Amino acid sequence: MTDRRPLYLIAEQRIVVDFACPALRVAAAERAPTIHPLSSLSRVLCRGPVDWAPGALTACLEAGVPIVFVAGDGRVQGVLQVSRADVTGLGEYLRCVAESLDWPARYDNWRRAQQHRLIARLCSAIGWPHSQPRPEAMRRQLDSALQRRWACIPQRLLAPYVPLVRSEVTAELAGAGIDPAMSAGIWAGINLGEDLTQLAIWPLRGRLLAAHRPPPAAPVEAIAHYERHLSQPMARTISRLVRYLWRIPL
């Protein structure tokens, strides 16, 4: 399924989504309709005034393509998909681990280990020496490098991409059979969805720093840039993070 890609429906003006078997048809004023075969979609991210025809929603459900609804500020409002059992057992495994008295320490050790792993891979990818610096110090170095390279405040540079990463995390957790109650907000004293999002932003920083052209500032252009250049490597990073939840010791 690696050839499947997400579809981003980020609208400032009204767009309409219909089902034109075997594809979604997306129409907007003053633009030619676009056709997106369901067989090529991994998920749909939807934000803004998007009108869904009932047939299009049903077709996504039947094809197993989840739809992630995102608010204007980037919060995930919900995920529409066929209810899945915990086919991998990961959700039940996490519930068992969370019953341990030292669950907070086990989870924090796992989170810090993943953070160090991602930082080490990032440094290797961009040719920086890696001597186990504190994550906060590394974040400041990366932010300074991003600002020097692109003459833009790093938070502003990252802002259009964070909701996209967050939606990918939400969809990946749902696809793994994780109960939404465990991945949205605080569960067992942790915010799993937000923690995975912040971990995934480490390689995002590196990819923006290594880009050959300035990342676009306009949200719509940033979404197109993410879809073309970042969605697949970020999906691999997020999928690996979810799989590595099995490494939290029982």
Same domain, yes or no: 57 and 106: no
Number of domains comprising the chain: 2
- Say yes or no: 105 and 56 in one domain: no
Q: Which domain holds residue 227?
A: 90-247
Q: Indicate whether 96 and 208 sit together in one domain.
A: yes
Q: Are 167 and 76 in contact (CB under 8 A)?
A: yes
Cβ–Cβ < 8 Å for 161, 226:
yes
- Looking up tokens 């369901």, which residue turns up? 38
Amino acid at 130: H
In a domain, 85, yes or no: no
Question: What φ, ψ does residue 85 adopt, rounded to 5°?
Answer: -70, 165
Q: Assess whether 41 and 102 both reside in one domain.
A: no
Model confidence pLDDT, tens digit, residues 35-61: 999 999 988 888 889 999 999 999 998
Read off the pLDDT of residues 198-216 as tens digits, 9 standing for 90 and up: 999 999 999 999 999 999 8
β-sheet bridge partners, residue 8: 45
Q: How far is Cα 226 from Cα 188, in angstroms, rounded to an integer?
A: 32
* Residue 108 shares a structural domain with residue 189: yes
pLDDT on residue 83: 63
| Terminal-residue alpha carbon distance, the chain | 31
Domain match, 196 and 232 both: yes
* Cis upstream peptide for 22 (omega within 30°): yes
Nearest Cα residue to 161 out of 98, 221, 108, 107: 221
Q: Residue 187 carries which DSSP code?
A: B
Checking if the pLDDT of 1 tops 70, the result is no
pLDDT at residue 132, as a whole number? 67
For the record, the structure tokens of 184 come out as 């949205």
Q: How many CA atoms lie within 13 A of 116 on its CB side?
A: 9
Tell me, yes or no, whether 57 lies in a domain: yes
Where helices occur in the chain by DSSP H, the ranges are 54-63, 90-98, 103-126, 135-150, 154-158, 162-175, 180-183, 192-210, 219-225, 231-243
| Helix (H/G/I), strand (E/B), else coil: 141 | helix
Would you say residue 190 has pLDDT above 90? yes
In this structure, what are the phi and psi dihedrals at residue 225, rounded to the nearest 5 degrees?
-65, -45
pTM, entire model: 0.81
Helix (H, G, I), strand (E, B) or coil at 119: helix
Q: Are residues 64 and 162 in the same domain?
A: no
- Residue at which a domain ends, from 27, 50, 80: 80
* Residues 120, 203 share a domain: yes
